[in-house]
Amino acid sequence: MSLIRIRNLTRHYVMGVETVHALRGVSLDISKGEYIAIMGPSGSGKSTLMNLLGCLDTPNSGSYELNGTNVADMDDNALAEVRNREIGFVFQSFNLLARSDSLHNVELPLIYAGVPYEDRRERARQALANVGLAERMHHKPNELSGGQRQRVAVARALVNDPSIVLADEPTGNLDSRTGEEILSLFEQLSRRGNTIIVVTHEEDVAQHARRIIRIRDGLIAADEVNPNPRAARLVGAAERVPAPA
Amino acid sequence: MRSQIQLMAEVREAFGMALNAIGTHKLRSSLTLLGILIGVFSIIVVATAIEALQGNIEKEMSQLGSHTFQVQRFPAIQVEDDMESVEKYLRRKRFYLSTARQLEERSTLAKHVGVTAEVDQGEVFSLYAKTAPTVSYRGMSPSAFETRNLVVAEGRALSETDMESARYVTVLGADLAKKLFPFGSPLGKWVQFRGVKYTVVGVLEAKGSIFGQSQDNFMSVPITTVLNRYGRETSLSIQVQSPSQEAFDDVVEQTRGVLRTLRKTPPGEEDDFEIVSNDSLINQFRSITLAVRAGAGIISSIALVAAGIGIMNIMLVSVTERTREIGIRRAIGAKKRNIMTQFIMEAVVLSEIGGILGVLLGIGAGNLAAAMLLTPPVFPWDWALIGLGVCSVVGVVFGTYPAWKAANLDPIESLRYE
């Protein structure tokens, strides 16, 4: 059974008198454990697709089944719960709470999930240790490097054990070396069985995925298996990212 | 159970973030909560001062003995000052010594019936004092010492013999005795009032002072002596003491009946005299201070509404500033309700900090004012709690719209917000 099953998804926006058709009927199946890149130039509709996949938005028509439940016409509260349990977001600009330390940032999803305090703290610590930041638990985002911030964000995405990790241009704000660091982290996660969807416009980043979906003008232009995904080139960074336990 | 844990966690998170947010903008937050502080301060300072004074005034009003009430022509606290009602009191028949005697004969339940008259004020001389203090000159019957709660410290009280013979003897208040006879016992010596000499037979125990006003600055002489000097028509006050608290109401009723008969009050008409007890005095005083408190309450409500608008304003700024944070929280699973809670909590915490400071400063300042009038400090718990309760309400009321706005931001838009 597919983890994600999308049929004829459409989404349009009314901008003044004009209607912008961002998605014109997308169908897609994603299985558990896949590592997928969604590519497309700006205006192609890839952001819209990502918002729909991440349950931040609802489609105008079509169906979206996530883990067997139809989320296309869920209400706001139900969507919030789905985002909390099923989806881990990684954003281009990290999107950490600036005034909270790493630990609090990572435990935030668990607070909304209603996990008791001790349990929550323990899981957040573990998640930070898994991305190699055991030493940085009580640092605030402005005390961390870009790569470290993005790793905190990855830890936050993973802490509630979601079905999908949804990364929107995860390396966009990083230099190429730290970018590779994050991509290598994704590879490790993928090997552990996490489902990863990376939305990007960089061919370089997309080449790490095992399947590449190209979007153009609101439709899927190509959906192909990447025969030989590129491994992250870790220049002296290997020892900085320990293998997840 | 699980939902309880969740609620706790959510509230805790909201509280932590509220403190965090307030701490980040210290100046802004303190300016905002200043309004609340002033609002709460104004009501608490008035309530504290009144409560401090009240304790004292109530003590002062307890000058009657236990289970005692007083019968008089005028009400104890006169609120109306128009001629008509004043005339109503003035037209009332006076109480004479004979009235008191007849009352004493006829009332079977009363323990004591005392008679007093405060007829004059003037300078009193003694051989030993350099200056002549101004005192109040009171006529008293022997039983009035019981009914007025006066205890003799030295010598004796006025006696029946003093009264029957209308002797020129006096019992002095403690302060007065000290002023007139600084070096020795006043007993057996004379004092002179309005050119007449009185022999001192007793000195009373000190009753202390209220608002710096001595309660012991008077001389008491037999009531008959007063009537001889000031005329038989002098109006008197009669005090009646009940043997116990239980019998009090019965004694009041009997006295009322006897007095109506003696004064020939037609049936069906209201009493043409006032019955005043410690309790009725205190109640009347309370009803007056209530008006003052209500005034302070109105002023502070206006201040609190103004402060609430300030809070709403700053919360709207806060929501805009934190649009990104709201987007993040929504993306990782916060429901609208969670965002609402967070921002309402922030408004309530802000308002409560102002409230607590206002209560503390108000109680401090109120007690300072009270201390200047030599009264002991008080802590008006009820007003403090009401004040803090109102602060929470202000926080919720004025925090709801900004919080609602925050909760209804579009998550996608807010994530992109710069």
Per-residue pLDDT of B109-130, as tens digits, reads 888 888 888 888 889 988 888 8
| Domain boundaries of chain A, sorted by first residue | 32-59+75-240
Q: Where does the pLDDT of residue B219 fall: very low under 50, low under 70, confident under 90, or very high at 90 and above?
A: very high
Class of domain A32-59+75-240: alpha beta
The more confidently predicted of residues B414 and A243 is B414
Distance CA B171, CA B156 (A): 8
- Name chain B contacts of A113, Cβ cutoff 8 Å: 333
Q: Which of A56, A54, A50 is nearest to A23 (CA)?
A: A50
| ipTM field | 0.91
Q: So what's the pLDDT on residue B1?
A: 55
Question: pLDDT higher for B284 or B201?
Answer: B201
Asked if the Cβ–Cβ distance from A77 to B324 is below 8 Å, we say no
Q: What is the pLDDT of residue B193?
A: 92
pLDDT in single tens digits along all 245 residues of chain A: 689 999 999 999 888 889 988 999 999 999 999 999 999 888 888 889 999 999 998 899 999 999 888 888 788 999 999 999 999 999 988 999 988 999 999 999 999 998 888 999 999 999 999 898 999 999 999 999 999 999 999 999 999 989 899 999 999 888 888 899 899 989 988 998 899 999 998 898 999 999 999 999 999 999 999 888 888 766 544 445 555 54
pLDDT in tens, B156-203: 999 999 999 999 999 999 888 888 998 888 999 999 999 999 999 999
Which of B9, B328, B332 has the CB atom closest to A114's CB atom?
B9
Measure A160 CA to nearest chain B CA, in Å: 10
pLDDT at position A82: 92
Q: If you average pLDDT over residues B65-79, what whole number do you get?
A: 77
CA–centroid distance for B395 within its chain: 31
Interface test with chain A among B326, B332, B339, B413, by most A beta carbons within 10 Å? B332
Report the gap between the CA of A50 and the closest CA in chain B (Å): 11
Residue B211 pLDDT greater than 60, yes or no: no
User: Residue A76 and residue B5: Cβ atoms within 8 Å?
Assistant: no
Residue B213 pLDDT class (50, 70, 90 cuts): low
- Percentage above 90 pLDDT, chain B: 32
Task: Write the DSSP symbol of residue B244.
Answer: S
* b/e burial code for range B236-246 (CB count within 10 A of at least 16 → b): bbbbbbbeeee
pLDDT at residue A79, as a whole number: 92
Taking the domains of chain B in order of start, what are their residue ranges?
2-59+284-416, 93-272
Write the DSSP assignment of A100-168 as a string of letters: S-HHHHHHHHHHHHT--HHHHHHHHHHHHHHTT-GGGTT--GGGS-HHHHHHHHHHHHHTT--SEEEEE
**Residue B68 · residue B279 · CB < 8 Å:** no
Q: How confident is the model at residue B77 (pLDDT cuts 50, 70, 90)?
A: low
Specify the pLDDT at position A144.
Answer: 93
